[in-house]
Amino acid sequence: MGDSERLERLSTLCLMLSGEETGEGRRRAAVAIAEAIAASSAEAPWVEAQLAGFLADASAPTAREGALLAVQAQSQLARHAAEPFLAALLPATLAAHADAAPAVRHAAVDAGQALVRALSPHALRLALPSVLEGMDSREWRIKVRRYGVDVGSLHTLCARAARLALPHVLEGMDSREWRIKVWDTHRQVQAASKHALLAACACIANPDIEPLVDRLVSVIAHPEETLATLDALMATTFVTRVDGATLSVIAPLLGKCLRERAAAMRRKAARVISNMCKLVMDPVDVAPFVPLLLPALQKVVAETSDPEVTAVAQEALDTLVRALGGGAAAAKARGGAAPGPSPEEVTAMRAEMLGHLRRAVMAHMAPAAAVATAVLSEDGEDDEEGSEEGEGGVVAAKSPMTDAALGYVAALCTSLVLYGRGEQVRLRNRVRLTAQGALAADDGDGDAADLCNIEFSLAYGGKILLHNTRLRLRAGHRYGLIGANGAGKTTLMRNIANGNIDGLPDDLRTVYVEHDIVGSDADTPVAEFVASVLPASDDADATARRARIVATLSGVGFTDAMLAAPVSSLSGGWKMKLALARAMLMNANVLLLDEPTNHLDTTAVAWLTRYLASLSDVTVLVVSHDTAFLDDVVTDILHYESQKLVPYHGNLTHFVRLRPEAKSYYELDAATLRFKFPDPGPLDGINSTTKSILTMNNATYTYPGADKPTLAEASLKLCLASRVAVTGVNGAGKTTLIRLVVRESEPDSGEIWAHHNLRIAYVAQHSFHHVEQHLSKSPVQYMQWRYGAGDGTDREASANNMAMKLTAEEEERLAKVGAVERILGRRKTGRTLEYECSFVGMGDEYNRYITLEKLADMGCQKLVQQADARVAAQAAGLDVRPTTTREIQAHLDDFALAPEFSVHGKIGGLSGGQKVKLVLAAAMWNRPHLLVLDEPTNYLDREALGALTIGIKEFGGGVIMISHNQEFLSAICTETWTLEAGRLYTKGEVRETALRFARKKDALGDEPEEEAASAGCTNKTVSYDNLINPKSLKALSKKEVRKLAKLAEKAEIPLPEYVSKITRASPEWKWLSA
């Protein structure tokens, strides 16, 4: 059939589309047109013009229906032959969903579904701008219907198409510029827009971001959720590559945060941008977001005064430019506006586009693409070929097909060029990782089967942890995972256990032994607890299941009595054994152990070592800072190096020989990191470091429900020079003794005395309990909450100290009229302490001083303890020490907690080691005289452990600690207290050291000005303005100020506070001028 005959037949068929009276006849005509186009697409532009005219004819619903039937048929039968031309009909097809004629609407739905499925990504990308422009209609009904098809149905019809559309749907710096009007004032439009946006976002194939999609959509209409959503994004672990669809839903939030006034939000957004760009593999994914992010980052760099925020924004800008590769956008980012391309560059770009097109696409493209290629080449050979076609041939320069194809191929070529640049980056990465892969292959065991051999990336919202690294695990090998605190060791193991690592085999059975049981206070019996937390068993008989549980628990040392006891009664060491036994019952291929020796005594560690060595078919991945344990257990080391996991065959000793710079893993004194502990303030009457500051005499303590006391008749003495190690087997009562020292428990009998100004810092065994109620706060915010009461006292210590916490009965008794309501201050008369008391129902004029002994007789010991705590805080200057971010960060710097985590991160996102650093720093804020540590080495890496060792050695106060790390204890302690069968035995002696008290200026932030006088004397000039004489209500004279200053110094309280507490009953009232 000749060209003219085909055109005449198509013309007849098109007339049938509008002239046939029955729908079946129009459908047959549509199928015939599609078959003709499939055979030869030369007439496709003419057919497209006819269909477009039918769709635009508002007076002919039959023609509109017929045109839509033709679109559906071509999408199903002609596909690639008609694709470049059908793409142009997509806007009209979608607009027909709002047609008044029901038949047209039904046909539009079917045609739209077929068309969206048929379009390739490049055709869809070319058609999207004109499609989305239709969403700006003023008619609300059209908006609602268009949202349902233009966006909402894209995921249902074709997830790939929806992923391509999403960047265009969400383009714009402001949500008011978005195609989907989530802020529209019409209620139905709002509902439809949110539904459409959620449906469009459902195409996102990144499992890491899926849980946040609802929040990311909600924040569009609720700006008050911006900070919380950004924090949730930073707390997300990313293990999957980031594509354009993922960036589509994240980039608007980041762009908005970059324009916020708060520097902290701009910094967080810049940090996330930097990390996201490192996980983007193809430049084409990030290119659509350059207009949104690039100018905003440049503005932050240019206009932000905070140098830290500027540095983070500059890093993000550099990372974004690197992700773009070459081109004008990258050049503009590097040096401002880029000059236009030269003619030579244009020619080179055209040749590059032609090369990509011909090599990758020519064999698979429709004839339209071939014609467009001929147009782009502009060579005589193609023109000659076209002229030889004759009258009905396709001439490149004149064919109506040219205009339709050019835009389609131009979009395709742009994608190919960007893909080529991304391919170069990927090639370099593959070459760089070849050596690492070879090293991983040479592990000294060629017979062991591979459990996994994958390449992946791992990121937290605020930090890239691993980037394009390889993980190879072989059956029967035991791997030690080594890296600094915060490197991501626990995050990696959690994601392996949850199966969230890209490429991890689905049938790999992993068990993660964590410390959830260690912090558990469950009252469930041990055996029942294990049965309840185990997954469904294959054991058909419940009796056999319980027998297996009991046998396993008995194998790790649990007695029958312990199996029946509640979990809360177990010590930390036994709780860890319980966690290990639970893991043993799960029959895993891979056993993941996070600090398994924490809380275990020497005997238990030896048992664990033997058990792990006996596992011939189970692979073990372990994180531990116990060097002896690692040396005895591991067969391989996986070391964190520059965001890679580098394998080393052999144990820790062999690893240190290969990497001498890792010497700190063995020698604590080799650590370069140092913790700097604040010097304690002076204590009244303590002029020697060996003088007692706390004593315990014959103290006995029995847990409720226990048959015998855990601690019996224990006596001890602590001083500023104390360096005490408390030792004993698990369950011997070590933690119980510590809790008595810090007054979190009270003895059943016996006495505990502490200096009235003594300040104690306590880090508990399960140290996370200090911060587990504040995971949504930053470390700085936690410190501000803990010490921001205004009087310098520690909120957490006050809440837990049983010597201060009033019972309901005591509160009721003290509420009666005439009872002591509050202790306002304290003074020392000779050797007697007197406390100024106010009384319930009585005015300030009735306040009076009462001695300590009389207050004890009145049952007010807890009020006295509260007052002593306030005075002790004032003596350390905590009442005037600012809890600003700058002051707190300066303190946290002494404990190696960087602002990246302390100011801009959340406690919930910290690693175990970083949480221990925070707890230790928080405890030391009050400049304590006594530091009490229960298992301080848990979670700390070797470098941090060495820093802690140095800090304790240089500390000017006393230290008492529990630890199973003999290396750590022997490096510090001069005394050993051993608990056996509830009895305390002491060995060693205190070594006197020089007194090191904080200077007054350090404690109070101010001190009296000293002026040098003649003969080498020094006059102390006390200058206070606006001090009012409470008797005359006039300014105090200089003589009165000097006299009162001496009394205030003796009472260890600031002069203004001392003056404010003078009443008619005060001795000073007699000599004050009237």
Q: Residue 490 in contact with residue 949, Cβ under 8 Å?
A: no
Same domain, 693 and 816: no
Number of continuous H segments (helices) and E segments (strands) in the chain: 46, 23
- The H or E element containing residue 385 is helix 380-387
Whole-number Å distance between alpha carbons of 1065 and 173: 69
Q: Residue 835 in contact with residue 855, Cβ under 8 Å?
A: yes
Q: What are phi and psi of 802, to 5 degrees?
A: -70, -20
Nearest Cα to 678, choosing from 921, 1006, 973? 921
Report CA Rg, the chain: 38
Whole-number Å distance between alpha carbons of 410 and 989: 85
Question: What is the mean pLDDT of the segment spanning 754-766?
Answer: 85
Same domain, 968 and 1052: no
Same domain, 751 and 686: yes
487 occurs within a structural domain: yes
Q: Residue 726 in contact with residue 734, Cβ under 8 Å?
A: yes
Same domain, 547 and 622: yes
Whole-number Å distance between alpha carbons of 724 and 974: 6
Whole-number Å distance between alpha carbons of 675 and 920: 10
Question: What is the domain-level CATH number for residue 860?
Answer: 2.40.50.40
pLDDT class for 977, splitting at 50, 70, 90? Answer: very high
Question: What is the domain-level CATH number for residue 602?
Answer: 3.40.50.300
Angle at 755 between CA 752 and CA 758, to 5 degrees: 110
Q: What is the pLDDT of residue 172?
A: 43
Length of the chain counted residue by residue? 1074
Same domain, 566 and 655: yes
Cα dihedral 635→640→645→650 (10° resolution): -20
- Pair of tokens at residue 888: 């707190």
User: Residue 814 sits in which domain range?
Assistant: 806-875
Same domain, 661 and 737: no
Q: What is the pLDDT of residue 717?
A: 93
* Residue 467, helix vs strand vs coil: strand
**Alpha helices per DSSP H over 764-911:** 779-787, 795-800, 808-814, 852-857, 861-875, 885-893, 899-902
Can you list the pairs that 1048-1057 forms with residues at least 24 positions away whose Cβ atoms lie under 8 Å?
1050/828, 1051/825, 1051/826, 1051/827, 1051/828, 1052/684, 1052/757, 1052/871, 1052/874, 1052/875, 1053/825, 1053/826, 1053/871, 1053/874, 1054/874, 1054/880, 1054/1004, 1055/1022, 1055/1024, 1055/1027, 1056/1024, 1056/1027, 1057/825, 1057/874
Mean pLDDT lowest for which of 151-155, 357-361, 981-985?
A: 357-361
Exposure of 31 in the CB half-sphere (CA atoms within 13 A): 6
DSSP 8-class letter at 340 = P
Q: What is the pLDDT of residue 175?
A: 43
Q: Residue 443 in contact with residue 619, Cβ under 8 Å?
A: no
Q: What is the pLDDT of residue 665?
A: 58
Same domain, 814 and 690: no
Q: What are phi and psi of 962, to 5 degrees?
A: -115, 130
pLDDT class for 694, splitting at 50, 70, 90? Answer: very high
Amino acid at 338: A
Over residues 539-575, the pLDDT tens digits come to: 556 778 888 888 888 887 888 888 888 887 777 678 7
DSSP 8-class letter at 7 = H
**Around Cβ 425, how many Cβ atoms within 10 Å?**
15
Q: What is the pLDDT of residue 1022?
A: 52
Structure-token match 């995971």, residue found: 775
Q: Residue 1074 in contact with residue 1031, Cβ under 8 Å?
A: yes
Q: Which of 421, 437, 453 is the last residue of a domain?
A: 437
Q: Is the pLDDT higher at 78 or at 955?
A: 955
196 occurs within a structural domain: no
Same domain, 947 and 1019: no
Same domain, 645 and 526: yes
Structure-token match 């029995």, residue found: 702
Q: Which of 875, 896, 912 is the last residue of a domain?
A: 875
Q: Are strands 723-727 and 958-962 parallel, antiparallel or unpaired?
A: parallel
pLDDT class for 1024, splitting at 50, 70, 90? Answer: low
Q: What is the pLDDT of residue 520?
A: 54
Over residues 371-399, the pLDDT tens digits come to: 444 444 433 333 333 333 333 333 333 34
pLDDT class for 419, splitting at 50, 70, 90? Answer: very low
* Residue 236, helix vs strand vs coil: coil
Q: Is the pLDDT higher at 172 or at 899?
A: 899
Q: What is the pLDDT of residue 504?
A: 86
Q: What is the pLDDT of residue 436?
A: 45
Over residues 16-25, the pLDDT tens digits come to: 888 777 888 8
Q: What are phi and psi of 840, to 5 degrees?
A: -65, 130
Question: What is the mean pLDDT of the segment spanning 826-834?
Answer: 84
Does the structure show a pLDDT above 90 at 152?
no
Which is it for the CA torsion 982, 983, 988, 992, positive or negative? positive
Mean pLDDT lowest for which of 60-74, 503-517, 556-570, 632-646?
A: 503-517
Question: What is the mean pLDDT of the segment spanning 342-350?
Answer: 57
Question: What is the mean pLDDT of the segment spanning 770-786?
Answer: 87
861 occurs within a structural domain: yes
Angle at 675 between CA 674 and CA 678, to 5 degrees: 135
**Around Cβ 706, how many Cβ atoms within 10 Å?**
10
Q: What is the pLDDT of residue 385?
A: 38
* Residue 107, helix vs strand vs coil: helix
- Pair of tokens at residue 23: 């729908």
Highest mean pLDDT among 8-12, 208-212, 673-677, 921-925: 921-925
> What is the b/e burial string over 182-220, where b = at least 16 CB atoms within 10 angstroms of the residue's CB?
bebeeeebeebbbbbbbbbbbbbebebbeebbeebbebb
Q: Residue 564 in contact with residue 545, Cβ under 8 Å?
A: no
Q: Which of 637, 670, 703 is the last residue of a domain?
A: 670
Q: Are strands 749-754 and 723-727 parallel, antiparallel or unpaired?
A: unpaired
Q: What is the pLDDT of residue 15?
A: 85
600 occurs within a structural domain: yes
pLDDT class for 209, splitting at 50, 70, 90? Answer: confident
Same domain, 658 and 693: no
**Around Cβ 1010, how many Cβ atoms within 10 Å?**
10
Whole-number Å distance between alpha carbons of 209 and 193: 21
Whole-number Å distance between alpha carbons of 1039 and 1027: 13
Q: What is the pLDDT of residue 515?
A: 59
Over residues 321-343, the pLDDT tens digits come to: 887 765 544 555 444 433 444 55
Whole-number Å distance between alpha carbons of 10 and 29: 9
* Residue 195, helix vs strand vs coil: helix
pLDDT class for 415, splitting at 50, 70, 90? Answer: very low
287 occurs within a structural domain: no
1012 occurs within a structural domain: yes
Mean pLDDT lowest for which of 218-227, 516-525, 689-698, 719-728?
A: 516-525
Amino acid at 583: A
Exposure of 327 in the CB half-sphere (CA atoms within 13 A): 18
Helix 244-258 to helix 213-221 angle (10° resolution) is: 40
Same domain, 955 and 1015: no
pLDDT class for 128, splitting at 50, 70, 90? Answer: low
Q: What is the pLDDT of residue 124?
A: 66
Same domain, 556 and 596: yes
**Around Cβ 459, how many Cβ atoms within 10 Å?**
25
Whole-number Å distance between alpha carbons of 152 and 194: 9
Over residues 354-369, the pLDDT tens digits come to: 554 454 444 334 444 4
Integer distance in angstroms from the first to the last C-alpha of the chain? Answer: 126
Q: Residue 1023 in contact with residue 896, Cβ under 8 Å?
A: no
**Around Cβ 442, how many Cβ atoms within 10 Å?**
10
- The H or E element containing residue 931 is strand 930-934
* Residue 591, helix vs strand vs coil: strand
Rounded to the nearest integer, the mean pLDDT of the chain is 76
Q: Would you list the DSSP string of 258-308?
A: HTSS-HHHHHHHHHHHHHHHHT---HHHHGGGHHHHHHHHHHHHHH---HH
In the sheet where 832-839 sits, what is the strand order?
A: 820-829, 832-839, 848-851
Highest mean pLDDT among 251-260, 333-342, 669-678: 251-260
State the total domains in the chain: 5
Residues 6+ apart with CB under 8 A from 1030: 1059, 1062, 1063, 1069, 1072
Whole-number Å distance between alpha carbons of 172 and 255: 9
900 exposed, middle or buried (CB, 10 Å; 0-12, 13-18, 19+)? middle
Q: What is the pLDDT of residue 438?
A: 44
